[in-house]
Amino acid sequence: MKSTYPFNPKLDLAFERVVDVPKELVWRAWTEPSLLKQWFTPAPWQTVDCEIDLRPGGLFRTVMRSPEGQEFPGSGCYLEVIANEKLVWTNALLPGYRPVTVAGVPGTRNDFQFTAMIELKSVPGGTQYTATVIHADEAGCQQHAAMGFKDGWGKALDQLVAMAKKM
């Protein structure tokens, strides 16, 4: 594990790969909406909207669309923004660090919560890309794994790399 994060295998998921594009392009792909929309969801899914307010406490919002046309909006809050190195956000908080809740059901949340951390490091051959997803409990972690975390993040990264090579 190349991440600086103290990984917990029961609660966390990780994805790691060396990609042959410079970390500055990976960073742009993650932080510019017009670029993110091109790779973020494995085809035939699409990312049809994206808002990025790139600062701690700022909004990270995406809308994913299924092949059948159903839309899945999601909002989170950036926690750490270190250009070309580290990006951390969570969907347990809304912009301005406001805790998430479901309307009318105090204390509950609309989905399984996670914090995601992208770490980039220049290595021979390109960029060491590490994604760590941190869950509240084992159920959330298992649910995320069952949704195809590794496969999905891998396919999305393939798309990111293909896009970056054309830039």
Burial profile 20-34: b = 16 or more Cβ within 10 angstroms, e = fewer: ebbbebbbbbbbebe
CA-wise closest residue to 29 among 20, 37, 19: 37
**CA terminus-to-terminus distance, the chain:** 30
Site membership for a second copy, residue 97 (CB under 8 A): yes
Nearest approach, Cβ of residue 76 and a second copy (Å) = 11
- Binds a second copy by CB under 8 A, chosen from 3, 46, 47, 90: 90
Residue 115 CB, shortest distance to a second copy, in Å, is 4
Separation of alpha carbons 155 and 34, rounded Å: 19
Residues touching a second copy, count (CB under 8 A): 34
Considering beta carbons, is residue 139 or 167 the nearer one to a second copy? Answer: 139
81 belongs to the binding site for a second copy (CB under 8 A): no
Q: Is the peptide bond between 44 and the residue preceding it cis, with omega within 30 degrees of 0? A: yes
- Does 134 bind a second copy (CB under 8 A)? Our answer is yes
Inter-residue contact 11 to 138 (CB < 8 Å): yes
Adjacent-strand bridge partners of 63: 49, 73
* Closest distance of CB 89 from a second copy, Å: 9
> Quick one: 44 or 96, whose CB is closer to a second copy?
96
d(CA 75, CA 61): 4
Stretch that binds a second copy, among 21-29, 32-40, 44-52, 107-115 (CB under 8 A): 107-115
Compare residues 71 and 80 and give the one whose CB is closer to a second copy: 80
Residues near a second copy (CB under 8 A): 5-6, 11, 56-57, 79-80, 88, 90, 92-93, 96-101, 103, 106-109, 111-115, 117, 134-137, 139-140
